[in-house]
Every structure is written in structure tokens, then in C-alpha cells.
Amino acid sequence: MEKVKGKNIVVVGAGSIGTAIGNSLAVREDLTVSLLSIELDVIQTIQDIHINQKYFPNIRLHPQLEATSEDRVLLDAEIVILAIPSNAIMSYLRRVKDSLPDDSILINLAKGFGDNNMLIPDCIHSEFPNPVFSLKGPSFAREIINNTPTAFTLSGLDNKLSGSLSSVFKGTNLFIDTTDDIRGVEILSILKNIYAIIIGIVDAHFNSPNLRFMIFTKAFNEMRSILLLYGGKEETMFNYCGIGDFGLTALNDLSRNRTLGLLIGKGFFTEDISGKVVLEGKIAMGVILKELESRGFPETSFHLMKELEGVFSGSMKVSEFVNELLEN
């Protein structure tokens, strides 16, 4: 087994994705992997019986995987994987700043915007000296925890460090491609949730493979346009974080955003439902539209997203939605 620099790994967040990735890395005997969580009941069951009773009650975790609520575990962390919601990342990092070494590598798993509607790596760079990477790809936590081979794109500005970090995942069920287009990876992870809602609406209302992949292609092209407008690289569309993650999110019923689209298409969507369910796609859509419109980009470059806004606002009926999508 190849030795790596990042032997001490802390996964912040013991929810489904944090537990799954931590469990995958724990198979390597040369790594020390800890889950850091505020959920004391989760920590207790992991430590006592090696089971996360809340998120994976039927899965026995690797015995090397530890769990703790003590921030001091960060003091020796060489890699910190952030598996908490995007809107909580900056407040969390500020809270643990005194425990976080300046050279710890921060890897963001969250999909969404941070403070002031900035991309999360930009938020972190504005306040912390740490190297920052993103890890995004077509990945359901329940598949990872069952040891299914799963792909991610690791992105960061330091290509040499990217190669070293990639080696951390060797010998696990996690397979990595890399890019230095961290901005592109982040924006694609947000866009795929928005366009998955659109595919869900189309599928629920028509259930037509021909129409599904017509709209899928239009959505993919629109994502490409917006990626470029945000300064991302076109080739990132063909990393795991691009076509792979979009396909998984848009076409698989385990996806929350596709499920929202299905509810809308079947006529079950209400403002009450949307207010109670945290869905990255709906929240991020407003941020992106405001940004694109404020910069004067033509509406034809984000036509599908603009039509989806009409559905959410109630100004457009679902029955009219697909016809509007087909017009451009």
C-alpha cells in the first residue's frame, strides 16, 4: 500500500455521506479516520457497537472508524473533510479556528453557496490560509456504505497536492479523477440539482424516454453555458462531477431534487412542502438567476432555469412548462 502524507483524517459530520466516506477510508490500515459530530447519540452507537443507528442502522462500520464530539481531534488533522451543510461551513470553521492547523487540507463535500452567496472555496480562502479542495461526483451514500465502487472528482489549484490526496483513496471503493477547475466543479455541483428538478417534472408529466433525453441534452448544454459564464472549464463537464453527477441526480429516484420535480409534475407541489424540505436546487436557482441577470447575460443562455422559476413562483402552469422548454 502506498504511503501518503495525510494519515490523520477527520470527517466533520457523521450524517449519511460523512459516515459513508469515513467508513470507506477506514479500510486502510495506514490511516487514522475520525468522525467529528455534535450528535452524541450517533457517536455513542458508533463507539459502542460500530453502527450508526440513526443513518445506517443495519450496517456494521469498520472497527478502525472512530467517532467523537471533541474538537481537539482537529489538532492533529492533516486532512479535514467537510460533510456538513453548505450554509453551516463558515460558522463552523470560525468556531473551531483555534483547533484547526493552518496547513490542514480542507476538502468540501457540500453542494451549495456559502456566505454572501459565494462559492464555498472562495469563502474559506477569504478567511483561512488552509489549502482547499472540493470532492464531488455521482454518489449516493447508501451505495458507498455498501462498498459499491463510486467515483468522485477531486479539484484544487495545487496539482501536485491533488496527486498526493488522490492516493489517499487507493485501496478503497472510491475512485478519483482530478482537475484544477475547482470553481467549475463547485458550480456544476449546484447546477445539477437545479436541472434534476426539470428532468423530474418532465418525467412525471410525460414519462417519455424520447422527451426525457431531449430535455436532458438541452439541460446539459445550458449547464455548459453557465459553467463558462462562471469562469469554469468546458472539459470539467466530462469529469465525474459533470455528466456523471448530473446523470445520477437527474435520472435516479433516490435523488431529492429529481423527487421534487416528480412531485411538481404530478401536481403535489405546494409552498408548504417547499418551505419544510431543504432542497439545494430551489435555493441555489434564485442565487444564480440573480447573478446572471445582474451581469447582463442573455436569457437564452439560461432559458430552462428561467422557465423553472416561473413554475416555482406560480406564474406558469406545469402543463405549459414543457412547451416553453421546447421553444428555444
Q: How many CB atoms lie within 10 A of CB 157?
A: 15
In a domain, 212, yes or no: yes
212 lies in the same domain as 170: no
In a domain, 2, yes or no: no
pLDDT value at position 314? 79
The CATH number linked to 34 is 3.40.50.720
In a domain, 39, yes or no: yes
In a domain, 47, yes or no: yes
Mapped onto helix, strand or coil, the DSSP state of residue 54 is coil
Average pLDDT, the chain: 92
163 lies in the same domain as 295: no
278 lies in the same domain as 296: yes
272 lies in the same domain as 242: yes
**Cell numbers linked to 207:** 414519462
pLDDT value at position 297? 86
133 lies in the same domain as 192: no
170 lies in the same domain as 203: no
Of the candidates 53, 289, 117, 98, the one whose C-alpha atom is nearest the C-alpha of residue 194 is: 289
Q: Kindly report which listed range (179-183, 238-242, 277-281) carries the lowest average pLDDT score.
A: 277-281
59 lies in the same domain as 200: no
Q: Which residues are catalytic?
A: 192
**DSSP line for 222-240:** HHHHHHHHTT--GGGGGSI
In a domain, 3, yes or no: no
The CATH number linked to 237 is 1.10.1040.10
Q: Work out whether the CA dihedral 285, 178, 242, 24 comes out positive or negative.
A: negative
Distance CA 18, CA 24 (A): 10
244 lies in the same domain as 224: yes
**Total number of domains in the chain:** 2
Per-residue pLDDT reduced to its tens digit, 69-95: 999 999 999 999 999 999 999 999 999
Question: What's the CA dihedral at 286, 114, 230, 222 to 10 degrees?
Answer: -40
Cα-based distances in Å from 227 to 41, 223, 294:
41, 6, 16
Sheet containing 79-82: give its strands across.
66-68, 32-36, 8-12, 79-82, 105-108, 132-136, 150-155, 174-179
Domain edge (last residue) among 179, 211, 240: 179
149 lies in the same domain as 195: no
Per-residue pLDDT reduced to its tens digit, 101-118: 999 999 999 998 998 889
44 lies in the same domain as 150: yes
Per-residue pLDDT for 236 more than 70?
yes
146 lies in the same domain as 23: yes
Question: pLDDT-derived band of residue 315, with 50, 70 and 90 as boundaries?
Answer: confident
Range of the domain at 132: 8-179
